[in-house]
Amino acid sequence: MHYAIVSETYPPEVNGVALTVQALEQGLRARGHDVDVIRPRQSDAEIATAEGMLVRGGRLPRYPGLQFGLPATRRLQRHWKASPPDAIYIAIEGPLGWSALRAARRLGIPAATGFHTRFDQYMRDYGAAWLAPVALAWMRRFHNRADATLVPTRELAGFLQLRGFKQVQRLPRAVDTERFNPRWRDDGLRSEWGVGPNDLVVLHVGRLAAEKNLDLAVRAFRRVQQARPDARFVWVGDGPARTRLEADNPDFIFTGVQRGESLARHYASGELFLFPSRSETFGNVTLEAMASGVPPVAFDYGATREHLHDGEHGAAIADGDDEGFIAAAVRLADDDPTRTAMSRAAVDAVSKLRLQQVAADLDALLQQLAHGGRHESIALAQTPRSR
């Protein structure tokens, strides 16, 4: 089969969407398919390969490391008319994504979209809560023009269906358990952080931005310090909030963006993972922390609801319960035996997740669309996983 993937973001950019898109691309290629990737050019010197197309892009405000693709409907039409894919996957609702949907519809090529980002929640985080309904309507219009909308969880599928999104299909996520694994623990790295073998390293991995609710992580850690004066807080990632966080918290360790083996070492060298975000569609970092043997404290939605049993693999906190989040962080920080047991259980819980299965599921769905079929959307009557 010949597939096309359209995304506004792609590695070496580091974010959940970029890494998920790359994993899907690699998975489809491993299954023997031809995959064209259409994305913005990331530098003036970058040259398109034979298996893709680069378009003009623009920088996102307040996110200098990320960009969006400019509209390219006519160019995509010419490209796909000359070499039509059997089906298309469009990852983001940006200008390039809209162009891809228009071109696909005009050429009669089936297209699936991915719901990766809660832009409606971002409006609240950036002081424009009144725009949240507008953002949701804009996303609904985009996704309802596709033949399928792919989401990572049952919870999100139900949320979208109740709000008028059609053709919603769950595509579960997985984690690379070879890359993210406790064996990458690095005492030398911990020494660079100034911590000993029995000291407590608290981690946050992700983009440092307003939508990540980072002030709650800071509050939780300050309470942890009262119980564990040996604790150090290590922040892996970058973003517009980093300057303020560093200025306000000179004792924190900021490592910047990490990739590949280095990222795996950073994860595995911690003891507790704080993830206070409420704006994720999934939260890949939760699975990465679990696979690395680092129990998470996170709110009970997305990856946490799908894969983390509260009290067994970490702590799953009711949405909005900030004090519950802080209390769980303190409780786990001050209980080494429980945290050690959770570490083993978390690794075991995600050990059967396979990126290859995600690619196989996407392949099956795209083939169904290519052969003229429409999938059955997810029923709303889903029983939440028991705790």
- The DSSP secondary structure of 172-230, one letter per residue, reads -----TTTS-GGG--HHHHHHTT--TTS-EEEEES--SGGG-HHHHHHHHHHHHHH-TT
CA distances from 153 to 69, 115, 286, 289 (A): 27, 11, 14, 18
Q: Quickly count: other Cβ atoms within 10 Å of residue 135's Cβ.
A: 18
pLDDT of 49 reads 65
Phi and psi at residue 168, in whole multiples of 5°? -85, 130
CB neighbour list of residue 175: distance below 8 Å, 6 or more residues apart? 284, 287, 288, 290, 291, 350, 353, 355
Q: Strands 111-114 and 34-40: what pairing? A: unpaired
Cα distance between residue 279 and residue 122, in whole Å: 7
Cα distance between residue 252 and residue 249, in whole Å: 6
What are the residue boundaries of the structural domains of the chain, listed by start? 2-174+355-370, 182-350
CA distances from 132 to 129, 146, 293 (A): 5, 22, 36
pLDDT of 373 reads 61
pLDDT of 380 reads 36
Strand partners, 112: 89, 148
Q: Quickly count: other Cβ atoms within 10 Å of residue 265's Cβ.
A: 17
Cα distance between residue 205 and residue 285, in whole Å: 7
DSSP letter, residue 130: G
* 2-174+355-370 and 182-350 agree in CATH topology: yes
Length of the chain measured in residues: 387
Contact 314, 308 (CB under 8 A): yes
| Residue 365 CB burial class (10 angstroms; 0-12, 13-18, ≥19) | buried
DSSP letter, residue 314: B
Question: What is the architecture of the domain spanning 182-350?
Answer: 3-Layer(aba) Sandwich (3.40)
Contact 224, 329 (CB under 8 A): yes
Cα distance between residue 309 and residue 4, in whole Å: 37
pLDDT in tens, the chain (387 residues): 999 999 999 988 888 889 999 999 999 999 999 999 999 988 766 776 656 889 988 776 665 556 778 899 999 999 999 999 999 999 999 899 999 999 999 999 999 999 988 877 777 767 777 888 888 899 999 999 999 999 999 999 999 999 999 999 999 999 999 999 999 999 999 999 999 999 999 999 999 998 899 999 999 999 999 999 999 999 999 999 999 999 999 999 999 999 999 999 999 999 999 999 998 999 999 999 999 999 999 999 999 999 999 999 999 999 999 999 999 999 999 999 999 999 999 999 999 999 999 999 999 999 999 998 654 544 433 333 434
**Is the overall model pTM greater than 0.75, yes or no?**
yes
Tokens 């052969």, located at residue: 371
What are the tokens at 262? 């280095």
pLDDT of 48 reads 64
CA distances from 19 to 14, 173, 213, 374 (A): 7, 12, 22, 27
Cα distance between residue 156 and residue 309, in whole Å: 18
Phi and psi at residue 311, in whole multiples of 5°? 85, -10
Contact 330, 225 (CB under 8 A): no
Amino acid at the residue 213? N
3-state class (DSSP) for residue 131: helix
Describe the crossing of helices 336-350 and 322-333 by its angle, rounded to 10 degrees.
110
pLDDT of 4 reads 97
* Topology adopted by domain 2-174+355-370: Rossmann fold (3.40.50)
Q: Strands 272-275 and 201-205: what pairing? A: parallel
